[in-house]
């Protein structure tokens, strides 16, 4: 992640990928032009990195020059395109290849065609490293396209945001972060996690995503993911992480306008935590915290034994089973505690006291995120 002025940008296209695409474009153009000596023309300021890498890789003789046009102010493309630096050489009868860093609306490209209308060139070809098909509004042919990308603002590899970011060797995409609060809620058996989740989702207008509930819903309704998960469960096998992530993704998508999410029952491993981080990053959001209710083991045992008198659950009536469940919880949670602590996102909250007192403690943490 990089911050330029007031905005954050997330990694989008790696330096290695860019160089791979530049080499492919070099190969295509060199093949098409044969032994001809072309004139490559870069559009400043954005194309300087692309042009530099391109001509270094070009295997044959060529000439290079630049023209400078201006069409951007901050994040917005303007209608007024100024030709700041023009051509200084005679291009009559020459094959000219325009090397553009990016083509979106096509306004700059229209000006390029206007400029070259009276230059008597043999042929004018357009090569662009990045292309936004959703934004393109012109009919000019693009002869060579490196990478098609969504219509989102990018910086790096010559492209800037208000003057910053041109020096970055990779491409970063504007992170349109929603103001969401997302946290993973943990608690040992008997800690009252379910009760607190209900209070917190109402207080903060969050969506509570319980992995158990999501599984039951998908299996009961025989969704494709539910049937896939059931096929593993019927064989006594663990459901692959990706299946669970796909289910969670579907839940997040259903609630795209939510103010945030409480994740309950997932993740359980580092790999799952990383997968959840990736999922939220794709939504231009993040996990803000792991919040764990902390209750003394003896208190938990007594709570569960009391609950067992009315719940009818066998695992709430047997003390040895209860203690084993608590032991398993700590073994699994310890891994995640380290994972989130490394990101300064772990919060332990005293889970002993009245429901109201515990809710207040949890709220203090959430309010600080």
> Annotated binding residues for ATP, as ranges?
190-195, 307, 353
Please identify which of the residues 17, 83, 166, 307 carries the catalytic annotation: 307
Long-range contacts of 330-337 (CB under 8 A, 24+ apart): 330/188, 332/268, 332/269, 333/186, 333/188, 333/292, 335/269, 335/270, 336/184, 336/186, 336/267, 336/268, 336/269, 336/270, 336/273, 336/290, 337/290, 337/292
303 is catalytic: no
The three-class DSSP label of residue 313 is coil
- Take residue 105 and report the two structure tokens written for it: 């609306």
313 is catalytic: yes
In the annotated binding site, the residues are: 190-195, 211, 216, 237-239, 265-268, 272, 307, 313, 325, 353
Longest dimension (CA), the chain: 95
Using alpha carbons only, give the angle 36, 42, 43 rounded to the nearest 5 degrees: 145
309 is catalytic: no
Note whether 122 and 95 are within 8 A (CB). yes
268 is catalytic: yes
Please identify which of the residues 17, 83, 259, 325 carries the catalytic annotation: 325
Q: How many CB atoms are closer than 10 A to CB 308?
A: 18
114 is catalytic: no
163 exposure class (CB count in 10 Å sphere: 0-12, 13-18, 19+) = exposed
Please identify which of the residues 24, 278, 313, 327 carries the catalytic annotation: 313
DSSP state, residue 315: G
Cα separation, 183 vs 369, whole angstroms: 10
Please identify which of the residues 268, 323, 345, 361 carries the catalytic annotation: 268
Give the sign of the dihedral formed by CA 149, CA 154, CA 156, CA 159.
positive
In the annotated binding site for AMP, the residues are: 211, 216, 237-239, 265-268, 272, 313, 325
DSSP state, residue 164: B
The three-class DSSP label of residue 344 is coil
Instruction: Tell me which residues are annotated as active site.
Output: 193, 268, 307, 313, 325
């Amino acid at each position: 992640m990089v911050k330029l002025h007031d905005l954050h940008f997330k990694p989008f296209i790696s330096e290695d990928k860019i160089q791979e695409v530049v080499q492919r474009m070099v190969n295509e153009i060199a093949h098409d032009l044969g032994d001809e000596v072309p004139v490559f023309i870069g559009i400043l300021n954005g194309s300087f990195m692309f042009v530099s890498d391109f001509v270094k890789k070009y295997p044959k003789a060529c000439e290079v020059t630049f023209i400078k046009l201006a069409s951007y102010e901050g994040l917005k493309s303007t209608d007024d395109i100024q030709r700041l630096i023009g051509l200084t050489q005679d291009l009559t009868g020459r094959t000219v290849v325009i090397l553009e860093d990016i083509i979106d609306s096509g306004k700059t490209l229209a000006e390029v065609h206007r400029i070259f209308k009276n230059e008597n060139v043999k042929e004018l070809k357009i090569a662009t490293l990045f292309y936004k098909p959703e934004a393109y509004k012109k009919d000019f042919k693009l002869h060579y396209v490196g990478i098609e990308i969504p219509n989102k603002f990018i910086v790096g590899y010559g492209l800037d945001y208000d003057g910053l970011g041109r020096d970055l060797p990779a491409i970063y995409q504007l992170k349109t972060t929603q103001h969401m609060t997302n946290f993973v809620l943990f608690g040992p058996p008997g800690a009252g996690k379910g009760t607190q989740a209900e209070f917190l989702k109402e207080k903060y207008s969050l969506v509570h995503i319980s992995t158990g509930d999501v599984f039951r819903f998908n299996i009961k309704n025989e969704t494709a993911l539910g049937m896939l998960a059931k096929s593993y469960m019927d064989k006594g096998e663990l459901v692959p992480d990706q299946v669970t992530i796909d289910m969670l993704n579907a839940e997040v998508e259903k609630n795209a306008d939510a103010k945030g999410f409480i994740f309950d029952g997932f993740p359980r491993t580092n790999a799952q935590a990383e997968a959840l981080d990736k999922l939220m990053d794709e939504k231009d959001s993040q996990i803000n915290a792991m919040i764990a209710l902390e209750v003394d083991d003896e208190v938990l045992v007594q709570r569960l034994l009391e609950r067992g008198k009315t719940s009818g659950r066998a695992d709430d009536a047997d003390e040895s089973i209860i203690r084993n469940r608590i032991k398993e919880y700590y073994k699994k949670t310890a891994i995640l505690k380290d994972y989130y602590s490394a990101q300064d996102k772990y919060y332990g909250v005293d889970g002993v006291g009245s429901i109201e007192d515990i809710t207040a403690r949890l709220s203090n943490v959430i309010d600080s995120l």
